[in-house]
Amino acid sequence: MKKIILIKSSVMGMQSHTKRMLDSFEHSWTENHKNTAIIQRDLIASPLPIMDEDIFSAYYSVPEQQQSEKQKEALAISDKLIEELKISELIVIAAPMYNLSIPSQLKNYFDLIIRAGLTFNYVNNERIGLLKNKKALILTSQGGLKNANKSDYFVDYLRDILSFVGIEHTTFIGVEGIAMDTSRIELEHINAETQMKNFINNY
Ligand SMILES: Cc1cc2nc3c(=O)[nH]c(=O)nc-3n(C[C@H](O)[C@H](O)[C@H](O)COP(=O)(O)O)c2cc1C
């Protein structure tokens, strides 16, 4: 049985464009791959603990018997998030653009899953990502338009952070310009849906 994970991070509720894309993806995916276990990770509906000094020190320096309840709980959550990724062959991330970046909840998710020895290691001074043989599909939405003459650090960041943990095979599908001109919205989504269907057919 295939296992995939869907990660939501929009604060726009039912109005969310990345949610619309993710729902459409899930619908098309289950039509094509009926025997799939889908893990749902909604970072807004089920908030995660925020990485702080307590949590970071629990990762690396506080022995288990000296950990506070907060530290134990946060480590258990971090372990669970990492396990979800380990068992998933495809990671689908809905990544809206907020203030030129990803939602803070999604950044915090990365802070909780990036742990030395578990998702990456240093070997001979080289960093090695440990989540191997996985693909990621990133569904993006931005109110404005991409600037073709500028490097896209939003996309670059997501590609790099996934590569950090060993996920090298990344595909981006997105809608853009939807806040500037509402007449674009349906066309953008139709285009994104076609690309998602192609992704699924060629998977
Ligand atoms: C807090 C906030 C900040 C935003 N910042 C940007 C931005 O920097 N650039 C941009 O093009 N659109 C920006 N937008 C518009 C969103 O990218 C757009 O609404 C997109 O559809 C968000 O995805 P979602 O609908 O799945 O939440 C912002 C929206 C919000 C709510």
105 lines ligand 1 (CB under 6 A): no
Please state the residue numbers annotated as binding site.
10, 97-100, 141-144
Residues 18, 43 contacting (CB under 8 angstroms): no
Asked if 161 and 130 touch (Cβ cutoff 8 Å), the reply is no
Rounded distance, CA 146 to CA 53, Å? 36
Distance CA 190, CA 177 (A): 14
Q: What angle do CA 8, 133, 170 make, to 5 degrees?
A: 50
Find the Cα–Cα–Cα–Cα dihedral 162, 7, 11, 100, rounded to 10°.
Answer: 20
Looking at ligand 1, which residue's alpha carbon is closest to its atom 4?
Answer: 98
Question: Is residue 141 lining ligand 1, measured as CB closer than 6 Å?
Answer: yes
Ligand 1 centroid – CA 175 distance (Å) = 11
Residues in the chain: 203
What's residue 148's pLDDT? 83
In angstroms, what is the span from residue 79 Cα to ligand 1's centroid? Answer: 30
Pocket test for ligand 1, best of 9, 142, 188 (most atoms within 8 A of CB): 142
Contact 144, 176 (CB under 8 A): yes
Task: Name residue 82's amino acid.
Answer: I
* Dist. CA 165–CA 119, nearest whole Å: 5
Q: Strands, E, within the chain: which ranges?
A: 2-8, 36-42, 90-96, 120-123, 126-129, 135-142, 169-176
Q: Which of 15, 92, 98 to mutate to test ligand 1, by most ligand atoms within 8 A of the CB atom?
A: 98
Strands 126-129 and 90-96: unpaired
Band of pLDDT at residue 91, cut at 50, 70 and 90 = very high
Q: Answer whether 185 contacts ligand 1 (Cβ < 6 A).
A: no
Mean pLDDT calculated for residue range 110-133? 96
Q: How far apart are CA 96 and CA 7, in angstroms?
A: 12
- pLDDT on residue 156: 97
Supply the pTM of this predicted model.
0.96
CB 134 within 8 A of CB 93: no
- Kindly state the percentage of the chain with pLDDT values over 90: 94
CA max distance for the chain: 59
pLDDT tens readout for residues 20-68: 999 999 999 999 999 999 999 999 999 999 999 999 999 988 898 999 9
**Does 98 have pLDDT greater than 90?**
yes
* pLDDT over 70, % of the chain: 100
Task: Tell me the pLDDT tens digit for each residue of 147-187.
Answer: 888 889 999 999 999 999 999 999 999 999 999 989 999 99
Nearest CA to ligand 1 atom 1: 98
Q: Is any atom of ligand 1 closer than 6 Å to the C-beta of 12?
A: yes
Give the residue among 48, 4, 15, 24 at the shortest CA–CA distance from 139: 24
46 backbone φψ class: left, alpha, beta (φ>0; ψ -120 to 50): beta
Please give the distance, rounded to the nearest whole angstrom, from the Cα atom of residue 176 to the centre of ligand 1. Answer: 10
